[in-house]
Amino acid sequence: NEPKTLDYNNQALSLMHIVGDQRGEAAIFTNMGWVHEVSGNPQKALDYYNRALPIMQATGDWNGEANTLYRLGNVERDQSQLSKARSHIEAALSVTQSVRSTVTSGELRASYSATIQRYHEFHVDLLFRLHERSPSEGYDAEALRANEHARARSLLDLLAEAQVDIRKGVDTDLLNRERELQRLITARTDSRIRLLNGKHTEQQARDADQELADLVSAYREVETTIRASSPRYAALT
């Protein structure tokens, strides 16, 4: 029952506001967005998701941020706004990449990986939709890389659970470069989302896309070098 559900959420929202629980408020905004999404009210869903997102970013609710970005992407995909949907799902994946490193329990890591698997599947599906729209733009190759990257992450999770550190013996400067590129990709992705959600020119959008693509390319090169120079990884493969 949509009206009753929204009423309950509004009551909870008032309580969260009284006690000053910003994370709770943001979570309720996302819940209300989801109710509108499944009820066929995409614009209202987007409004609530966009209200939730900056609060989650400000309060460091990374899991909530990733989920809200994913939900934004779903609505935008269904409205054929594929470029915006791609920006949001790639931002969600960037957030989960950072969160994943903080999950130390093998059981929790496996659970978390299962939770975000749908993000990867959504990303690949979206790239194929973009390929169908623009066959000459290379989206099919990007979809293949995205799928392979998701499989590689699953392998790394298994290695982590088995306590195999494939980075042991890798040059410290190289690892520092990897972390710096991860930070830059996250920052540039957030900037790109803010740009696309506001007033911008086509040139600004192209520049933002190119800057992010260059960072991702550099990151992949570093990852390749790390894998090649890790004795443990070489022995395993």
Q: Write the pLDDT tens digit of every residue in 144-153.
A: 888 887 777 6
8/41: higher pLDDT: 41
* Residue 169 dihedral angles phi and psi, to the nearest 5°: 95, 0
Tens-digit pLDDT profile for residues 37-93:
999 999 999 999 999 999 998 888 888 999 999 999 999 999 999 999 999 999 998
pLDDT at site 132: 94
pLDDT exceeds 80 at position 36: yes
Mean pLDDT calculated for residue range 4-30: 87
Per-residue tokens: 35: 């109710």
pLDDT at position 234, please? 56
Give the mean pLDDT of 154-173. 67
Closest CA to 166 of 100, 235, 220, 118: 235
State the Cα–Cα distance between residues 139 and 133, nearest whole angstrom. 10
pLDDT at 129: 95
Instruction: Give the pLDDT confidence score for residue 165 in this predicted structure.
Output: 64
Q: Which of 124, 182, 180, 183 is nearest to 151 (CA)?
A: 124
Can you give the pLDDT at residue 188?
82
One-letter identity of residue 156: L
Task: Report, as an integer, the average pLDDT of 209-226.
Answer: 86
Higher pLDDT, 142 or 236: 142
Percent of the chain at pLDDT above 90? 33
| pLDDT for the residue 219 | 87
Q: What is the mean pLDDT of residues 131-150?
A: 87
Task: Give the confidence band of 159 by pLDDT, cuts at 50, 70, 90.
Answer: low
User: Dihedral angle at the C-alpha atoms of 124, 35, 84, 22, nearest 10 degrees?
Assistant: -110
With a cut of 80, say whether residue 215 has pLDDT above it.
Answer: yes
Amino acid 67: pLDDT: 93
Nearest alpha-carbon partner for 75 in 32, 43, 35, 115: 43
Average pLDDT, the chain: 83
Cα 75 to chain centroid distance, Å, stands at 15
25-46 per-residue burial string, b: 16 or more CB within 10 A, e: under 16: bbbbbbbbbbbbbeeebbebbb
